[in-house]
Amino acid sequence: MVTKENVDLNYEDPIEIAEGIYWVGFYDEDFYLYCNPYLIVEGDEAILIDGGSRTDFSTVMMKILQTGLPPSNVQNLIYHHYDPDLCGSIPDFEEIIDNDNLNIISHTENNTFIKYYGGSLERKCIEKDLNFVWEFSTGRKLKFIRTPYAHSPGSFVTLDSKTGTLFSSDLFGSYAKDWELFLELNPECDDCYSYEDCPAGKEECPILGIIGFHVNIMTSKKALNYALNRIKELPVQMIAPQHGSVIPDTNTIDTVIEKLQLKENIGIDDLI
């Protein structure tokens, strides 16, 4: 299991969270919404996932270079939806990577809007062009699973077959004042439903930040439950969200899913 005890957590550097998977995100103590781009390196091939905003580009690109990877080895840019905190830096990556075979991978619903960020990259659709699978030359596979309206029509998640890491985009995201790269829960968290008064003595309940994020960002309880039920069927060992903290083990994943599925009034449900 990957934890902060066995991984070097210098946030100024890329951090390998699983075999060949690097967090190349941006740590900002003054901002409660942390963005987490990820780089998968498999031999001399690489894929960047949810590359980040334009303002974060220099930080993300520097961390990619720190892994020792030549930028031209990046073959694909995966975007789980079309928000600017994921896609804003697309023209910058196109210019720096300088790979004639570089592609964008997303769902058709997303690619319709991603084109407006500019650039000339080919946009491949997970359902039409790839049949929901991308395979490295080594045989390592990325599987794409639809999670529509969680939170956009074209939303999906990506499962790495080699490590069981699920790149979940906004699902499992969080608002966090006291952010850490890896989510750590106390044993008391399993049976705790009093999020304002932590029995373990924590100043801020991490579950509350996750729930609050989903209430605001997801469209409805029906959409959220559909996505969570699909994820429960997958052989997931770790969840790497685009916001908040990495969920590093199956017990913590189960706890977070249970808490989210108990929550009523998600998105539009809270207004009607």
Q: 187 lies in a domain? A: yes
| Helix residue ranges, H only, 98-201 | 108-114
Q: What is the pLDDT of residues 19-51, one digit of tens each?
A: 999 999 987 777 677 789 999 999 999 999 999
Alpha-carbon distance of 28 to 206, in angstroms, equals 18
| Residue entry with tokens 């991984």 | 7
> For residue 223, which phi and psi values (nearest 5 degrees)?
-65, -40
Position 7 scores a pLDDT of 66
Looking at the domain assignment, is residue 4 inside a domain? no
- Counting residues of the chain whose pLDDT is more than 70, the rounded percentage is 95
pLDDT for residue 46: 98
* Choice between 136 and 3, residue whose per-residue pLDDT is larger: 136
Question: What pTM, to 2 d.p., does this model score?
Answer: 0.94
Angle formed by the axes of helices 57-66 and 90-97, to 10°? 40
pLDDT score of 3 more than 60: no
Per the domain annotation, does 256 fall within a domain? yes
Per-residue pLDDT at 17: 96
Number of domains within the chain: 1
Domain extent for 62: 15-270
Residues in the chain: 272
Contact, 37 vs 25, CB < 8 A?
A: yes
Do the domain assignments include residue 69? yes
* 202 pLDDT higher than 80: no
What's the confidence (pLDDT) of residue 199? 67
Is pLDDT above 80 for 163? yes
Residue 135: give its domain's CATH number: 3.60.15.10
Q: Is the pLDDT of residue 6 over 70?
A: no
Bridge partners, 104 (sequence order): 77, 123
Reading the block at residue 205, the tokens are 């309940």
What pLDDT score does 105 carry?
98
Q: Is residue 1 part of a domain?
A: no
Name residue, tokens 């850490």: 180
Please give the C-alpha separations between residue 226 and each of 143, 145, 151, in angstroms, as whole numbers.
Answer: 18, 12, 12
Cα–Cα distance measured from residue 75 to residue 94, given in angstroms and rounded to the nearest whole number: 11
3 within some domain = no
The residue with greater pLDDT, 80 or 10, is 80
Q: Is 257 within a domain?
A: yes
Q: Which two tokens stand for residue 209?
A: 């930040």
For 131-135, 191-195, 262-266, which range has the lowest pLDDT when averaged over its residues? 191-195
Reply yes or no on whether the pLDDT at 190 is more than 70: yes
Is 263 contained in some domain?
yes
Judge whether residue 198 has pLDDT over 80: no
Beta strand ranges found along the chain (DSSP E): 15-18, 21-23, 38-42, 45-49, 74-78, 103-106, 122-125, 133-135, 141-146, 156-160, 165-169, 238-241
